Amino acid sequence: MQQFIDTTLSGLAQGMVFAAFALALVLIWRSTRIVNFAQGSMAMATTFVALALIQAGWNYWAALAAALVSGFVLGAVVERVVIRRVEGGPELNAVIVTLGLFVAIQAAVAIIAGSSFQSFPAPFGLRGFTIGGNTIALTPNRVYVIAAVLLTMALLVALFRFTRVGLAMRAAAFGQEVARLLGVRVGRMLTLGWALAAVVGSLAGLLIAGGSFVYPAYMDSLIVFGFVAAVLGGLDSPIGAVVGGLLLGLALSYVSAYFGGSSVVNLAALVILVVVLLVRPGGLFASTVARRA
């Protein structure tokens, strides 16, 4: 029983990170119909920015803020300089471009920061809370991870629901041409969308790095998990991405605990993805809107 609870708790915490990462993918997919395979590399790069600052003596929160800001800038630059040129073109071209960015950014970080494992600090304790003499898998740091993701989601909902810029971003995403005719600066909104998505992706990268090791390829699995979570939820649906992330986090946690250990976790993600794509290609939360624009 204890093991089941622990597995569930760590699955939830992990699922929250997957959810954040999937959300970042969905934000970009919704507006530009591109799956950003470079998301993981970009997040990794900003985590290394944070690491460098922490090693230079900054405190965690300042480094976190700086990393998120650099994520924002990186996302905007990537969209503006590279993605803008393949938007609306053949979908294969965009896929290949994001894959190219994925490799290039990862290699660039490896050249600058080296390929070795470096430990990344956690802002809160990594020892589980004790309830009735039992130490459970819920650590202060995991509480922080869950809270940080929830806060981010709340902020995003508020942005898209209640602000003018949020409305303009949605209009630009769902009806580019109409939005332009109505005076919305669509190009700017797409850049902003990529920048915001990069911030959310960076947050996921920073959260999963906390109390663990980072190296240039440490996000490789997370791209797959984030993608699986996003597809699980339907790629178009932010809520779906969150639910998909949590479901995947739990599923992988159970697989790891009860069926064969961590070496098959990636394989389990593959199986889940294939099953979802074959049984329900639109995802669990497929929206019924037939897309015209």
Partner 1 sequence: MSDLQNAGQTIAQPPAGNPATAAAPASTSSRKGRIPLPQSTLLRHLLAVVLCAVAAVVLLESTDPFRNSQLATLTYYAIAAGGLTVLTGLNGQISLGHGALMAVGAYTTGLFLSADEPLPLPVVFLAAIVVTALVGAVVGAAASRLHGPYLAGATLALAVGLPGLALKFKGTLGGEQGLRVRAPRAPEWFGDAIKTLTGNPATATKWLAYVGAIALLVTYFLLANLIRSRIGRTWRAVRDNDVAAELAGIRLGSWRVLAFVVSAACAGLGGAVLAIVVRLAAPSAFTLVLSLALLTAIVLGGLGSLLGALIGSALLVFLPQVTTDLGSAAGLDGTEAAQLAPFVYGVVLVAAMIFAPAGIVGTIRLRWLAQRAKRAVARETGR
Partner 2 sequence: MPDTAVAPDATRTSGATLEVRDLTTSYGPVRALDGVSLTAAPGRITAVLGANGAGKTSLLRTVSGLVRASSGTVLLDGADVTRAAVESMVGRGMAHVPEGRGVIAELTVEENLRVGALFRGKVGREEFDRVYDLFPRLVERRDNPAHTLSGGERQMLVIGRALLARPRILLLDEPSLGLAPRIVAQIFGLLRQLVDAEGLSVLLVEQNARSALSVADVGIVLNLGRVVATDDARTLMADEDLRHAYLGF
Binding site for partner 2 (CB under 8 A): 164, 167-168, 170-171, 174-175, 177-186, 287, 289-293
Closer residue to partner 2 in complex, CB, 279/293:
293
Residue 260 backbone phi and psi in degrees, to 5: 95, 10
Q: How far is the CB of 276 from partner 1 (least distance, A)?
A: 10
104 lies in the binding site for partner 1 (CB under 8 A)? yes
Closer residue to partner 2 in complex, CB, 27/248:
27
Closer residue to partner 2 in complex, CB, 90/132:
90
189 lies in the binding site for partner 1 (CB under 8 A)? no
Closer residue to partner 1 in complex, CB, 73/224:
224
Q: Which does 185 bind (CB under 5 to 8 A by kind): partner 1, partner 2, none?
A: partner 2
Closer residue to partner 2 in complex, CB, 165/274:
165
Q: Residues 75 to 94: which contact partner 1 by CB under 8 A? A: 82, 85-86, 90-94
Q: Which does 121 bind (CB under 5 to 8 A by kind): partner 2, partner 1, none?
A: none
258 lies in the binding site for partner 1 (CB under 8 A)? no
List Cβ neighbours of 222 (8 Å cut-off, separation of 6 or more). Answer: 17, 18, 21, 40, 43, 204, 205, 208
Member of 111, 155, 157, 178 binding partner 1 (CB under 8 A): 111
Member of 115, 119, 163, 287 binding partner 1 (CB under 8 A): 115
Give me Rg for the CA atoms of the chain. 19
Residue 39 has, within 13 A of its CA and on its CB side, a CA count of 34
List the alpha helices (DSSP H) in the chain: 2-32, 39-55, 60-81, 91-113, 140-162, 164-174, 176-181, 186-209, 220-233, 238-258, 265-279
52 lies in the binding site for partner 1 (CB under 8 A)? no
Q: How far is CA 45 from CA 106, 203, 239, in A?
A: 8, 12, 27
DSSP track, 149-216: HHHHHHHHHHHHHH-HHHHHHHHHHH-HHHHHHTT--HHHHHHHHHHHHHHHHHHHHHHHHTTEEE-T
274 lies in the binding site for partner 1 (CB under 8 A)? yes
105 lies in the binding site for partner 1 (CB under 8 A)? yes
Closer residue to partner 2 in complex, CB, 179/228:
179
